[in-house]
Amino acid sequence: MQKKTIGDMLSESRRNNGLSFAELEDRTGVSRGVLQKIESGETKRPEFKTVKSIAALFPYSYEEIIEGYLEDETRIETLFEILQEVIQCEYSSLVERVSLKILQSPNEKIEKALERLYNFSDSTAVIVINNEIRLALFKVIANYARQCGEPKYIAKALFKKYLIERNDLKKLKETFCNGEEILHYVDFLSHDENGLTP
């Protein structure tokens, strides 16, 4: 079954609440012309800030709203904006979905998308959130890099995942197996990354 789009959600919510476009404009601050275009499907990819303005009216969970928005969204900058928000709000269930959508964006070359997501995942802004989210990001990178035949990013993502998990004794066996797998990709890591001296 196809997920509801933002236009579908807007239409359903507006009708269920008996709201005109003028009333909706007063409540959200979004112009009625924009609202009409979203509801009719003429605007398939509204700005994310517009969706956030009207989302409070929807009788759907945050996850459903983001899922609906992702149906038609391919703009890489907007996808990163969404990823930052779901990470800040710690919606770990959406992290993998949004990061995969970034990697699948037709607007970015695969290697560049992998590099951007990897750098984002390893940035200070993400490091301070929590390790589970970072692990989810590196898992998506490694899996997608495997599918696309990009060994450099398999190596980099597996290595970062290993560094996060190695101190968790509950994951000792899994971490050991991951460490063994990284050995197959060690040639794709820089000297700094693999611990070798130049």
Q: Does domain 1-61 fall into CATH 2.60.40.10?
A: no
pTM of the predicted model as reported, rounded to 2 decimal places: 0.77
For the chain, the average pLDDT equals 84
CA-CA distances (angstroms) from residue 50 to 5, 8, 72, 81, 190? 14, 15, 15, 13, 43
Task: Give pLDDT tens digits for 76-93.
Answer: 999 999 999 888 877 778
User: Can you give the pLDDT at residue 195?
Assistant: 53
DSSP string, 24-68: HHHHH---HHHHHHHHHTS-SS--HHHHHHHHTTSSS-HHHHHHH
The count of other CB atoms within 10 Å of the CB of residue 36 is 15
% of the chain at pLDDT higher than 70: 85
Q: Residues 111-167: pLDDT tens digits?
A: 999 999 999 998 877 777 778 888 899 999 999 999 999 999 998 998 888 888 877
Instruction: For the beta carbon of residue 162, count every other beta carbon within 10 angstroms.
Output: 17
**Segment among 21-30, 36-45, 110-119, 162-171 with least mean pLDDT:** 162-171
pLDDT digits (tens, 9 = 90+) for 97-108: 999 999 999 888
